[in-house]
Chain A
Amino acid sequence: MPNIKELTDLTTQVRRDIIRMVHKVNSGHPGGSLGCAEFFVSLYQELLETKEGFNMDGIGEDLFFLSNGHISPVYYSVLARSGYFPVEELNTFRLLDSRLQGHPTTHEGLPGIRIASGSLGQGMSVAIGAAQAKKLNNDNHLIYSLHGDGELQEGQNWEAIMYASAKKVDNLISTIDLNKQQIDGSTDDVLPMGSLRAKFEAFGWTVLDIEKGNDIEAILKGMAKAKSLTGKGKPVCVLLHTVMGNGIDFMMHTHAWHGKAPNDEQLAIGLAQNPETLGDY
């Protein structure tokens, strides 16, 4: 049984990492990162079946692809705290000569990253390719991917969504971070997308909602359900209802912190709301 207290403590520490990283370089994307902290912790601590060390081909293990690469702070923090690279390296986020580029990349050889992302809308196609390679290799492990909801405005997603069901890519769980925010405002203001459930279902996917997307127990339960739905001829979509900026009160429920770093005072408030649990890097 997962130890929820330990996962919660790790999530609190990840939140500290996120805002400290973006504060130090006065750039980066804290809002979406904070909203997905519980998901990443659940994914890397409980869900993914992985091998020791990092191998690009990932044969015999579950793989994860981040399509909305701008939430790199949460990705880097959770990868480091899951043992992929030293936690101290978080200090180098967005600095010259760092492996922790503004957006994730394979280019600098950072363990844990299998594709560059940042230019939006490309990750689902890549995840599908990796899923089809698993089938060719008779590898029964799963592909997980994460996408922003605003990112679904990119047309390539719909090519991929159409293809995945047509080709019965049923070893794929694509999660949509449904925070209903994007840079210029709420998704309903910028470009309303209607019912994502109806759209994915119309395209032939199995869809399930995780209404409490910032609740670790709800995520674990929902993702276990999602996993049970794989292998049945359809790709699986998880609509993860999250709060952008979760865990830092003044950053919550707004797009304002999509790509903005806190100042010294705001950092202090955010850190006070998330007391150190595992030790800062």
Chain B
Amino acid sequence: MKTYTYTEKKDTRSGFGAGLAELGRTNPNVVALCADLIGSLKMNEFIDENPERFFQIGIAEANMMGIAAGLTIGGKIPFTGTFANFSTGRVYDQIRQSIAYSGKNVKICASHAGLTLGEDGATHQILEDIGLMKMLPGMVVINPCDYNQTKAATIAIADYDGPVYLRFGRPSVPIFTPADQKFEIGKAIKFTEGTDVTIVATGHLVWEALEASKVLNEAGISAEVINIHTIKPLDNKAILDSVAKTGCIVTAEEHNFLGGLGESVARVLALHHPTPQEFVATNDTFGESGTPVQLMDKYGLNSDAIIKAVLKVIKRK
């Protein structure tokens, strides 16, 4: 079995900041907007190098989404930056009408998604954003898994013409994807080959899935770990090819099971290849204050939870 290790940990938001800085140097149409969270979103490098292409909006996210929509009229490619909660739920109608329905080329970049925001608690820990955004017609939804993938995704979405929701997080997590990877929107990445179970994971749960697969392998269970970084459009083929081989699947995400990756996968399976599935996700609940590790443990979003789900789903085959 191929195993993955890491030598460095970094936050995925810094991958966004690095990708945005690179875009600032390579694409003169890229502009950035922020609602008073420059440091949290790691946007400083872009701003220092391109002050004329940065718009500090203040604490006014609805206005930010509208201004971003307007900036596209004139050929700009706006990247908005704020926390995931304020990037989605707070401004849903602005995104729906002025960006999605209007077909505007806005990149909604959302940090501090999910429970791993940590101590700030449930007011800031959105676990519903993937569902909100994937329901909007035409919206691309991406949740990269580490620093390198987030940087590559940030760069890649500038070349895609249309609205994109890019979701990333706050904590330092292992860097295990290559620095020189090419990011293909909608293309799943297979990390390990396996025959007994498919584990489909997104965001911070991808590393946890790889950790789980090591333990499972030692127990004689061969897990195929697939990274779905693009939740919409979903790579149906990668999922169907894998379950045709393994016959069962676990989905893992830092999101409510309602509206998340798991539901998107379940639909594909229901339509094309009904397959036993277990969901590693939050169970229709809000979060709370705590450290990221404590929270991921309490709400069942780590390698232990994935292992339990695998053992359960294999019995349902």
Contacts and interface: CB of A to CB of B under 8 A. Distances in A.
A125 B75 contact: no
Contact of B101 (A116, A128, A131, A156): A116
Nearest to B58: A163
Given A122-B97, A125-B67, A136-B53, A116 B102 contact: yes
Nearest to A124: B66
A159 B63 contact: yes
A63 B73 contact: yes
A156 B66 contact: yes
A165 B70 CA distance: 17
B60 interface: yes
Contacts of A65: 70
A7 interface: no
Contact of A126 (B31, B70, B93, B96): B70
B73 A115 contact: yes
Q: Chain B interface residue count: which class?
A: 20 to 34
A129 B66 contact: yes
Contact of A163 (B63, B74, B75): B63
Contacts of A156: 62-63, 66, 94
B122 interface: no
Interface string A99-123: 0000001110000001111110011
B70 A125 contact: yes
A271 to B, nearest CB: 34
Contacts of A159: 58, 60, 62-63
Contacts of B94: 122, 125, 156
B97 A119 contact: yes
Contact of B67 (A58, A119, A126, A134): A126
Given A106-B103, A163-B58, A128 B67 contact: yes
Contacts of B180: none
Interface in B33-70: 52-53, 55, 57-58, 60, 62-70
Contacts of B78: 129
Interface in A16-61: 56-59
B66 A126 contact: yes
Given A125-B67, A128-B66, A116 B74 contact: no
Contacts of A123: 66
A56 B102 CA distance: 11
A181 B54 CA distance: 39
Nearest to B78: A129
B98 interface: yes
Interface string B69-99: 1111111101000000000000001101110
A126 B69 CA distance: 6
A71 interface: no
A195 interface: no
Nearest to A106: B102
B33 to A, nearest CB: 9
A130 B60 contact: no
A138 to B, nearest CB: 11
A116 B137 CA distance: 14
Contacts of B101: 105-107, 116
Interface in A171-216: none
Nearest to A160: B63
A65 B218 CA distance: 63
A63 B70 CA distance: 11
Contacts of B76: 133, 136
Given A59-B75, A159-B62, A128 B70 contact: yes
Interface in B103-144: 103-104
Nearest to B96: A119
Given A116-B101, A116-B102, A118-B97, A125 B65 contact: yes
A160 B69 CA distance: 13
A3 interface: no
Nearest to A127: B70
Nearest to B31: A136
A228 interface: no
A128 B64 CA distance: 10
Nearest to A109: B103
A116 B98 CA distance: 6
A109 to B, nearest CB: 10
Contacts of B31: 136
Contacts of A122: 62, 66, 93-94, 97-98
A163 B57 contact: yes
Nearest to B70: A129
Interface string A125-153: 11111111110110100000000000000
Interface of B: 31, 52-53, 55, 57-58, 60, 62-76, 78, 93-94, 96-98, 101-104
Given A106-B102, A128-B63, A136-B31, 14 more contacts: A65-B70, A115-B70, A126-B98, A127-B70, A129-B73, A130-B71, A131-B70, A132-B71, A133-B72, A136-B52, A160-B63, A160-B66, A163-B63, A163-B67
Pairs A-B, 4 closest by C-beta atoms: A129-B70, A125-B66, A133-B74, A159-B60
